[in-house]
Amino acid sequence: MAEPCIEVKNLEKYFTVGKGKLHAVDGVSFKIEKGKTMGVVGESGCGKSTLGRTIIHQHEPTGGQIFFNGKDVTKVKGRALRDLREHMQIVFQDPYSSLNPRYTVEATIREPLLLSHRYSKGELADEVTRLMQLCGIDERLRLAYPHELDGGRRQRVGIARALALHPDFVVCDEPVSALDVSIQAQVLNLLMDLQEQENLTYMFVTHDLSVVRHISHDICVMYLGQLVETSPSKELFERPMHPYTKALLSAIPTTDIHAPYQRIQLKGEITSPINPKPGCRFAARCPYAVDRCREPQELHEMSPNHFVACCRVEELN
């Protein structure tokens, strides 16, 4: 097996809110191989965005470990953190709020280069040009402001900014969910091309299962801060094992109008992640829940690299 670029072990991130602790990420472990894409899917509030931001050190983890290229970087500070951030970048969801409205395209892309103190003035301009070409931004837009750009172009600028310092690892936080389908496809193609050219490792956070299947090599499914299933992408779609994954997959509307359609009915809605009870969080909505589900769940490896956090996984499949 290739060396993992990112590995997290038992990662936890809790937020203190008025009524207690919000368990945004609760004991999540996985590995992402170099040059591969890990898709993280789940519904809103499942902690997938927080997970990404915790890995790139925008949030301080409450517990657990983060390894980057085999090194434990959980607690890095100061100079080391600055260095680390150059290797780990993020592309945001909302192309309307992720760009400073008073910065031109050029200024936005130049800022990370400038802050790295690695380029002379002349080199800066050349490097910006290179990045703009790389991300398919017209030269004539160099001095345009964000409000003059459409969502797709803005997202390209965001990607160029993230790639400026040649990171190894990029968290893509719902980078295409705010875009229309044709623009979304253009950006997805760009991201896949860039991965090949720059040998990037992605963590691709999204709620859109067809997008995640398209772009990811491996997939994590999250529910209320917990990892419920992780597996190679193809395997997950062919043989989903966790009851939640099954329900989720059956809920996606497909464009194949002749496919037989059967949906697993899920009752109720997501419960609160504040001061949750121990055990499987999905149990409250799960049609197969038993008493054992109220105890903490372990990951079972059902086939190579296919882990499921469900105590009844064997009997149900």
Partner 1 sequence: MAEKKKAPATAKKKNQTLEIIKRLARNKVAMAAGIVFVLLFVMAIFAPLLEPYDYTLMNGKLAFAKPSLEHPFGCDRLGRDLMSRIIRGSRFSLGMGLLGVLCSLAAASVLGSVAGFFGQVADNIVMRLLDVIQAIPGILLTMTISTVLGRGFFNTVLALSIGGIPGNTRMLRAMILAIRNSEYVEAASSINCSKARIIAKHILPNAFAPVLVGAAMGIGGTIGQASMLSFVGLGIQPPDPEWGALISDGRNYIATYPHLIVFPGLMIGIVSLCACLLADGLRDATDPKLKK
Partner 2 sequence: MSQNKDFLRIEDLVVEYTSDGEIVQAVNGVSLSLEKGKTLGLVGETGAGKTTIAKTIMRILPEPPARVCRGRIEFEDRDLLNLPEKEMLHIRGNQIAMIFQDPMTALNPVMTVGSQIAEVIELHDHLSGGEAKRKAVEMLEMVGIPGARYDNYPHEFSGGMKQRVVIAMALACAPQLLLADEPTTALDVTIQAQVLEMIADLKKRYDTSMILITHDLGVVARTCDDVAVVYAGEIIENGSLEDIFDHPTHPYTIGLFGALPKLTGNEKRLSPVEGLPPDPTHLPAGCKFSPRCPNVTEACRSGEVPAYEMTPGHFVRCHLAANAAKEV
Calculate Rg over the CA atoms of the chain. Answer: 20
**Residue whose pair of structure tokens reads 């991201």 in the numeric block:** 191
Q: Which does 255 bind (CB under 5 to 8 A by kind): partner 1, partner 2, none?
A: partner 2
Q: Does 217 bind partner 2 (CB under 8 A)?
A: no
| CA distances (Å), origin 294, targets 42, 52, 79 | 21, 27, 44
Tell me, by CB under 8 A, how many residues bind partner 1.
39
Q: Does 150 bind partner 1 (CB under 8 A)?
A: yes
Tell me the two tokens of residue 166: 């040649």
Of 95-154, which residues contact partner 2 (CB under 8 A)?
Answer: 150, 152
Long-range interactions of 143-149: CB distance < 8 A, separation 24+: 143/104, 143/105, 143/106, 144/104, 144/105, 145/101, 145/102, 145/103, 145/104, 145/105, 146/96, 146/99, 146/100, 146/101, 146/103, 146/105, 146/108, 147/101, 149/105
Q: 193: Cβ–Cβ under 8 A, 6 or more apart, which residues?
A: none
Q: Which does 115 bind (CB under 5 to 8 A by kind): partner 1, partner 2, none?
A: partner 1
Of 102-121, which residues contact partner 1 (CB under 8 A)?
Answer: 102, 104, 111-112, 115-116
Tell me the two tokens of residue 210: 């067809």
| CA distances (Å), origin 108, targets 24, 132, 155, 157 | 31, 11, 12, 8
Shortest Å, Cβ 171 to partner 1: 9
Question: How far, in Å, CA of 298 to CA of 276, rounded?
Answer: 17
Question: How far, in Å, CA of 294 to CA of 136, rounded?
Answer: 51
Q: Does 203 bind partner 1 (CB under 8 A)?
A: no
Q: Does 262 bind partner 2 (CB under 8 A)?
A: no
Tell me the two tokens of residue 218: 């491996």
Q: Is the CB of 119 or the CB of 237 nearer to partner 2? A: 237
Q: Is the CB of 48 or the CB of 53 nearer to partner 2? A: 48
Shortest Å, Cβ 259 to partner 2: 9
Q: Does 9 bind partner 2 (CB under 8 A)?
A: no
Work out which of 255, 260, 291, 315 binds partner 2, going by CB under 8 A.
Answer: 255
The residues that touch partner 2, with contacts defined as CB under 8 A, are: 43-44, 150, 152, 180-186, 188-189, 192, 207, 209-211, 213-215, 237, 247-248, 250-257, 261, 263, 265-266, 269-270
The residues that touch partner 1, with contacts defined as CB under 8 A, are: 53, 56, 58, 82, 85-86, 88-90, 92-94, 97-102, 104, 111-112, 115-116, 138-145, 147-150, 158, 161, 164-165
